């Protein structure tokens, strides 16, 4: 039996968070702010899940994808206009088992950690090849290289490389979500390869 955890949930519009990525978010919805205030009192960990349709203002379980990212709030800043800026770090991919919709203050859900599968040493050459390809792509698309590729060069594990590139690929939200949901690391690396080739 996998352990399940009950966690506050923060729905995201137009962004998919991957494990080991650090990303600033601007949060304006009351329920989301309440969820953040709640986790700041405890272990600062919150589940970030992307909405299927970013236009829905008050999403419920059915409006969210089943996979998200258990994340840690590194920093929280209240802005003068009432919104909150948070810096979050994705930690682990999770699967949502159940949404608890009885508590109206903020969303909570029951999740289990969804570890990578098929993570053999043989994937390292594939992952390193992707780094090279991705760097070429960045140069071709004249993206600002400093951040991404420096980080990429320091990553050792294929799963981290996959997460980093997935996060930075210029693809649709649903495509990023597909990558997040691929538990099989080899398949994920192959899919990233296809996406880079396509670009």
Which pLDDT value is given to residue 146? 54
Residue the block writes with tokens 């998200």: 68
List, for residues 38-62, the tens digit of each pLDDT value.
999 999 999 999 999 999 999 999 9
List, for residues 143-173, the tens digit of each pLDDT value.
665 555 567 778 888 999 999 999 999 999 9
3 state DSSP class of 3: coil
Q: Is the distance from CB of 28 to CB of 58 less than 8 angstroms?
A: no
Question: 53: which 2 tokens?
Answer: 């349709």
Residue 102, pLDDT > 80, answer: no
More confident residue, 107 or 145: 107
Residue 44 gets the label, from left (phi > 0), alpha (psi -120 to 50) or beta, of left
Which pLDDT value is given to residue 3? 83
Question: 3: which 2 tokens?
Answer: 């352990």
Mean pLDDT of 137-148: 68
Positions of E strands within the chain? 4-12, 22-27, 45-50, 67-78, 84-100, 107-113
Q: Is the distance from CB of 180 to CB of 67 less than 8 angstroms?
A: yes
Position 140 confidence tier, pLDDT thresholds 50, 70, 90: confident
């Amino acid at each position: 039996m996998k352990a399940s955890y009950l966690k506050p949930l923060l729905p995201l519009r137009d962004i998919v968070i991957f494990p080991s990525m650090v990303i600033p978010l601007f949060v304006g919805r009351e329920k989301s702010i309440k969820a953040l205030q709640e986790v700041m009192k405890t272990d600062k960990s919150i589940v970030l899940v992307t909405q299927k349709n970013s236009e829905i203002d008050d999403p419920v379980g059915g409006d969210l994808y089943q996979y998200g990212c258990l994340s840690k709030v590194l920093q929280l800043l209240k802005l003068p206009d009432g919104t909150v800026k948070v810096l979050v770090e994705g930690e682990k991919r999770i699967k949502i088992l159940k949404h608890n919709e009885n508590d109206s203050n903020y969303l909570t859900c029951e999740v289990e950690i969804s570890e990578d599968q098929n993570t053999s040493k043989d994937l390292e050459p594939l992952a390193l090849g992707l780094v090279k390809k991705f760097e070429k792509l960045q140069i071709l698309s004249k993206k600002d290289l400093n951040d991404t590729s420096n980080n990429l060069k320091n990553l050792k594990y294929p799963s981290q490389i996959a997460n980093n590139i997935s996060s930075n690929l210029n693809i649709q939200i649903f495509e990023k979500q597909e990558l997040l949901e691929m538990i099989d690391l080899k398949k994920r690396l192959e899919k990233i390869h296809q996406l880079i080739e396509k670009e």
